[in-house]
A and B are shown apart, each in its own frame.
Chain A
Amino acid sequence: MLKFIVRRLVQLIPILIGLSILVFVWIRALPGGPADALLGERATPAKVAQVRHLYGLDRPLYRQYISYLDRTVHLDFGQSISTQRSVSNEIRRRFPATIELSLAAMVFAVGIGIPLGVLAAKRYLAWFDHVSMAGSLLGISVPVFFLAFLLKYIFAVKLHWLPSIGRLDATRVTSHPTGFYVLDAIVTGDGGAFVDAVRHLILPAVALGTIPLAIVARITRASVLEVLNEDYVRSARAKGMTSRTVDRRHVLRNAMLPVTTIVGLQSGLLLSGAVLTEIVFSWGGMGSFLEQAVFARDFPVLQGGILFLAIVFVVVNLLVDLTYGFLDPRIRVT
């Protein structure tokens, strides 16, 4: 197992280096280069030269890359053009909100998607299978921001069951030791804040989790169907095992392997979907940060934000891979 972990970590290095080069080249591919981007509309030739010198853009490219790498390793993503604030600090402040939302969406997606997929496979080609697969296809076809819109309109604007924007009622005064509001409420023992935070979380999490739910259900179904046809399942049945035991020991164990990978890959969909969902629900995470950056053409923010989320995505998938290796010994040797 240790060898497997080490090998996976080593495989990560070229990906991270490649990613850093990609993002490094990205900002330099701008028309007028990064100096123009930094100055925006205030760019004059004299100012551009000044900025180029200040940021070392007049030095050779490899030197620039090395210092960029050095700063990135220390999680220094530079400053926002529009607010002059440190991008890293802003990410640190906002990222817990995005993680909280993504985790809640994932719990929703996996908690419902896996049982749904298993049941659909067990009822292969019966009405339940048809209905749930048609439903999941519809689920994949709805843009996340439109679903967010609908949920907000129905449950917040019309029915007033749940709050429509933000992470807590604006009037509530609480402390935030972790930045995860649900966790904060538990840590500080504030029952009211807990209920409030959870109520704010429900609609955005359902909106964001629906597409992953549909995908998880479909993959689970395909994977269970695949395993049900395996010889070892037939043998287990032939031995006279009860179908419940066969399901638990043979079918589910093997069928969950591809589902694990899919759940990891979904984290990318969650992170990018979160950006759109957060905008609809005015959720103070990475979404509005990136939206403002797109609007203001604030390239350091876009660069830092996208690089950071990509690293998170890569690390989550590494963890999923390791889990997979842990669950399935065959993977470790190949």
Chain B
Amino acid sequence: MTPRGSLAQIGKYPVVRKLGEGATSEVYLCNDPFNLRDVAIKVAFPESFQDPARGSIYRKLFLTEAKLAGKLQHPHICQIYDAVAEEKLHYLVMEYVDGGTLEKYCSPQSLLAVERTVEIIFKCTRALEFAHKLGVTHRDIKPANILHTGETEVKITDFGTALIASGDTTTQVAGVGSPAYMSPEQLKDLPLDHRTDIYSVGVVMYSLLAGRLPFQAANNFTLIYQITNAEPEAPSSFRPDIPGAVDAIVRRAMAKDLAKRYANWGDFSADLAAAFRSEHFGARKSQAFADSDRFETLRRLPFFENFSDAELWEVARMSTWRHAPAGEALMKEGEPGDYFCILAQGEVKVTKHGKLLNVLRAGEPFGEMAYLSRKEHARGADVTVAADASIISVPTRRLNQASESCRHKFDRAFMEILVERLAMANLRLSGV
């Protein structure tokens, strides 16, 4: 048998280097020569599968979970590309994320800014809502299972490890370290639903904000007692710059009583977005629009009604956002156009030779002929800000590189608008 940590090749994948090791598996960075990309491969230690009583159950659960994860295609969930169960070698082939996990931001000397934490948790809540809608509960949310890269990019990983660990052994296997992130109902072995994940995300948020766990105990027994009985101190008692609204969100996510906890992910993420926008935050945050802010804004615009979460995240990433004061000229007739805009807030007017053609309100696009006509396109009219506005610009070049489904949604949205405008024009023509 191959000794641990010395694999040179896993199936058809040449190993680049070892990335890490857990209690039941180790992870390697490998090369996928067929698809020409880096992948992370998690290899289960053979012992867990060779157990005469449990081996076959583990194997079956392993495959079931892999099948499940293949369906979770979301920008903030780590993709599983393939799963292989051989006699002696079981492994999952996953998306490789360059960067570590959130673990390193959970101690007082390396905390993230509060806004960034809120952003990260917001993305987690949206991703887990997506999973929940597909009937998937993670059951093992903790900082070590949230990969992190860039400013606030996250990918949730290890879906279903809790299930693989199976039944009554969950606590021991998953919680080799500690049950710190488990919900009270999980510790009591009650039936679980998505709200156990809501609780665990609450604990992750607590740890990222305060730099410490909500409950600290000398041993697991005391810890379990506290999780099921004690109230944690508010995160702001360890870090005064945490606003009250954020304290309240953590408290509600971590409520022991299910009736007091967020009943669904939507409420949780809505509160996070609201906290981000609140006055208190606004004073300190820069003019820049945060990802969560962008996402929430897009989600509310009718133009994006039929976009999925994944597609909206694409839009949030490819677009540039800015505020424009009343009076600013945004587009001029005759200028070449290589981007179009969607008005997020405020009012703009469209004029031609000084004659008013149209006044646009939040949610309406302008300059879209640059995208729709495919050819080199000069602006056909002037666009000026009428009332202080927030403007989303989408470069046509970047949209052309977006996923097919995202472009398709733009096309459908524009189509509705074109049909509407054509109907209006025909009406005016027939009225003349």
A and B co-occur in one complex: no
Residues of A within 8 A of B (CB): none
Residues of B within 8 A of A (CB): none
